[in-house]
Amino acid sequence: MAALWTLSLLLSAYPGCLGLTPPAELPQPHNQPPLLGFNSSSGGLSMDLPVALRVFSMDYHHVQAPFEIVLWIMLASLAKLGFHWSGRVPAVVPESCLLIMVGLLVGGVIYGVRHSAPPTLSANSFFLFLLPPIVLDAGYFLPGRLFFENLGTILWYAVLGTLWNVLGIGLSLYGVCLLAQSSLGDVSLLHCLLFGSLIAAVDPVAVLSVFQEMHVNDQLHILVFGESLLNDAVTVVLYKLFESFLRLPSVSGVDVLLGGCRVVMVGLGGLCVGLFFGLVAALTSRFTSRAQVIAPLFVFLYSYLSYLTSEMLHLSGIMAIVTCAVTMKQYVEANVSERSNTSIQYFLKMWSSVSETLIFIFLGVSTIQDVHMWSWPFVCSTLLLCLVWRATGVLLLTAVVNKFRRNAVTFRDQFIIAYGGLRGAICFSLVFLIDDFPKKRLFITTTIVVILFTVFVQGMTIKPLVELLDVKRKKRALPTVSEEIHSRLIDHLLAGIEDVVGYWGQHYWKDKFEQFNKKYLRRFLIHEDHQARSSILRVYQELERREQRGDEEAPPIVDPHSNSRPLLPEEMDSIRRILSRNLQNFNNKQTPAYSRHTLHQDATKDKIRRPLYRHQSLGERYTYDTITHWSQREDREFDGSHRARAGLSRSHTVCSMSSRPILQDCMVPAASAQAQQVDRKTSSTREDRISPQHQIPMGRAPKKHLSFFLENEK
């Protein structure tokens, strides 16, 4: 690990020495154009040969730009590698902090070598190149159902919460400036409001990176994350609004009203742009069956186009790209092959990872600058006000919104929302874009301090604090086994009743959308082959359900006599452990959120397990877990059928060969019934069946072998 660090430092020093993007000077050319018999004094590398050709020469200037970019990316990736190899450190320090520290180190080294400021993160490159991959990744893996269920709350926090924060921080800072007239007298109200608008914004990049390691439940994750995504619209509009107000000679009430309209337009406009590009992308993916290799490219191109288009029209680029990803995801996944799907997902993860790492490193590097201006009252009050206003905002808003929610946002959740409001690179870039005025450097310094504070202090302490809160609650007596079981029964019962009743309003619209989707969109946007398969899946899912019901009517084989001896404490513990691990989670609210670093599939899916239709000849029970496991992970049977459908298509094209060896493995421990099964399969005609699959017993899991047939609908 130490080697990695030194290597990365050396690599970083190299581009630093050679100079980079502004404010660097032009690099010294390292070789001279070949001149006969002429030796330059600074060249040093040209040979002193009259007419001869150069055996060895170096032309750095030729490759400078891409070379340096690659070196920076290499530095970022090596730092990330080193981070994950460094043992105990990741448990304590979140990755973002470490990356900023690496950036600080690198910046310091460059400063020391060149005695001038290292390159800074230019706002342009941030907004155009570094931010889109992260947001695209987040949008593509957004848990759709959860997001739309909580949309009201998320919008509530995003719009009202941001407004509250902006106005609160801006006005209070103005108050502070008035109080400290001597040093801060020339900061006007509009400047304070402008600063408030950029510092109040919660940053999705920072939030994501810290929440990665926190394993909060899905619902909380989507609340914080959704808020950080959607408040972009509000933030950008307010920022631009105040900026344009600064340029106007005077501000009237009409201007403020127009500003309000602008918020709505920016948000909705971004949404529409995203929708448009998403649908076009879905349509394009329909025709990619003959050129499957470039199918992933369309996903990226269209998403990026939507982002650039909305940026061009001064709409919210983040909303556009998220909408585009959400829209095209279901159709693209149905249209492209399984391999393309995997490529898309992996590329998204890779790019967003690299982007995020680069952002944090550059944040660190850019901190080392000459342009700092410090002012104790301003900086400290900003820090304090950010925390205070966010906390009060969250408390107030939650108190109101809990009245309308089925699952109340608990105090622990509120604390995490308030404390987890991290600022990041968006604020940083926005502050650089301000028009120059005397106190701009103060703003820059303050922004950097706030970002570093939130990322380091809040990022590092949020996990222990949350655990402290949890521990405090756990100090109550452990529930008895009866209580646990009966409570879980009641939870399932309530979930079922809620499904019967439907989610008010939301379900109605969801129903309508699903009908519209089925009738028009799916027919238009999904390739015919894939559409047909979905009806097969529907048939066998129906059959699965009937099988399940059939099973429940059969009496379980249970020991009639019961032991009445008291249970030992170890047994009690093991019972508790078994219950907590196996009592099925309901309504997806307790499952952990998705991870930045691994695809959800890798973490949870057994590659062999598929929802299976039990063949009549085998008298065995299917794994119930598979069904629920399947459906829990994604949005509904709709998406589950996609995943399954893709799995089936893979089996159709790829695994028809590989299922043979799997069969062989299974045959050894399997019952004789299955040997008969295999024989029957080999003798039957191929056209009628999609290749059968066996479930391999995994480790200590009970040996339940299953096979399934799927017959093509004629």
Partner 1 sequence: MGSRASTLLREEEIEEIKKETGFSHSQITRLYSRFTSLDKGENGTLSREDFQRIPELAINPLGDRIINAFFPEGEDQVNFRGFMRTLAHFRPIEDNEKNKNATTSEPLNSRTNKLLFAFRLYDLDRDDKISRDELLQVLRMMVGVNISDEQLGSIADRTIQEADTNGDNSISFNEFIKVLEKVDVEQKMSIRFLH
Question: What 8-state DSSP symbol labels residue 456?
Answer: I
Decide whether 7 or 671 has the Cβ nearer to partner 1: 671
| 659-675 b/e (C-beta count within 10 Å ≥ 16 → b) | beebbeebbeebeeebe
Shortest separation between residue 522's beta carbon and partner 1, angstroms: 17
* φ, ψ (nearest 5 deg) of residue 616: -65, -30
The binding track of 499-538 with respect to partner 1, each residue x by CB under 8 A or -, is xxxx-xx-----x---------------------------
Shortest separation between residue 475's beta carbon and partner 1, angstroms: 15
Q: How far apart are CA 364 and CA 362, in angstroms?
A: 5
Please tell me whether residue 586 binds partner 1 under the rule CB under 8 A. Answer: yes
Q: Cβ distance 378 to 176 under 8 Å?
A: yes
Footprint (CB under 8 A) of partner 1, residues 624-683:
624-625, 627-628, 631, 636-637
Shortest separation between residue 103's beta carbon and partner 1, angstroms: 46
Decide whether 243 or 498 has the Cβ nearer to partner 1: 498
Footprint (CB under 8 A) of partner 1, residues 218-277:
none
DSSP per position, 596-635:
SSS-HHHHH--SS----PPPTT------HHHHHHHHHHSS
Q: Is the peptide bond between 702 and the residue preceding it cis, with omega within 30 degrees of 0?
A: no
Q: How far apart are CA 264 and CA 574, in angstroms?
A: 55
Please tell me whether residue 584 binds partner 1 under the rule CB under 8 A. Answer: yes
Instruction: Select the residue interacting with partner 1 from 604, 704, 711, 712 (CB under 8 A).
Output: 704
Three-state secondary-structure class, residue 676: helix
Alpha helices, DSSP H, located in 19-126: 60-85, 89-92, 95-114, 123-125
Shortest separation between residue 613's beta carbon and partner 1, angstroms: 15
* φ, ψ (nearest 5 deg) of residue 373: -135, 125
Q: Which stretch binds partner 1 (CB under 8 A): 120-128, 177-185, 437-445, 557-565?
A: 557-565
Shortest separation between residue 406's beta carbon and partner 1, angstroms: 6
Q: How far apart are CA 136 and CA 142, in angstroms?
A: 10
Q: Which stretch binds partner 1 (CB under 8 A): 28-36, 160-168, 186-194, 697-705?
A: 697-705
Rounded to whole angstroms, what are the CA distances from 495 to 8, 407, 588? 52, 12, 11
Shortest separation between residue 217's beta carbon and partner 1, angstroms: 18
Please tell me whether residue 74 binds partner 1 under the rule CB under 8 A. Answer: no
Footprint (CB under 8 A) of partner 1, residues 423-482:
480-482
Shortest separation between residue 525's beta carbon and partner 1, angstroms: 22
Please tell me whether residue 545 binds partner 1 under the rule CB under 8 A. Answer: yes
- Tokens 């790829």 locate to 654
Q: Cβ distance 451 to 427 under 8 Å?
A: yes
Instruction: Select the residue interacting with partner 1 from 558, 569, 683, 699 (CB under 8 A).
Output: 558
Please tell me whether residue 557 binds partner 1 under the rule CB under 8 A. Answer: yes
Please tell me whether residue 486 binds partner 1 under the rule CB under 8 A. Answer: yes
Instruction: Select the residue interacting with partner 1 from 54, 406, 519, 652 (CB under 8 A).
Output: 406
Please name every residue paired with 191 in a beta bridge, in sequence order, or none if there are none: none
The two structure tokens encoding residue 166: 């902006």
Instruction: Select the residue interacting with partner 1 from 250, 252, 563, 580 (CB under 8 A).
Output: 563
Instruction: Select the residue interacting with partner 1 from 115, 475, 549, 607 (CB under 8 A).
Output: 549
Please tell me whether residue 623 binds partner 1 under the rule CB under 8 A. Answer: yes
Please tell me whether residue 3 binds partner 1 under the rule CB under 8 A. Answer: no
Alpha helices, DSSP H, located in 433-505: 440-452, 459-474, 481-501
Please tell me whether residue 598 binds partner 1 under the rule CB under 8 A. Answer: no
CA-angle at 165, arms to 172 and 97, nearest 5°: 105
% helix / strand / coil in the chain, to the nearest 5?
70, 0, 30
Q: How far apart are CA 90 and CA 209, in angstroms?
A: 12
Shortest separation between residue 625's beta carbon and partner 1, angstroms: 5
Please tell me whether residue 575 binds partner 1 under the rule CB under 8 A. Answer: yes
Question: What 8-state DSSP symbol labels residue 289?
Answer: G
Count of residues in contact with partner 1, rule CB under 8 A: 62
Please tell me whether residue 215 binds partner 1 under the rule CB under 8 A. Answer: no
Beta strands in 465-572 (DSSP E): none
Binding site for partner 1 (CB under 8 A): 404, 406, 480-483, 485-502, 504-505, 511, 545, 548-549, 552, 555-559, 562-564, 566-567, 571-572, 575, 578-579, 582-584, 586, 621, 623-625, 627-628, 631, 636-637, 701-702, 704
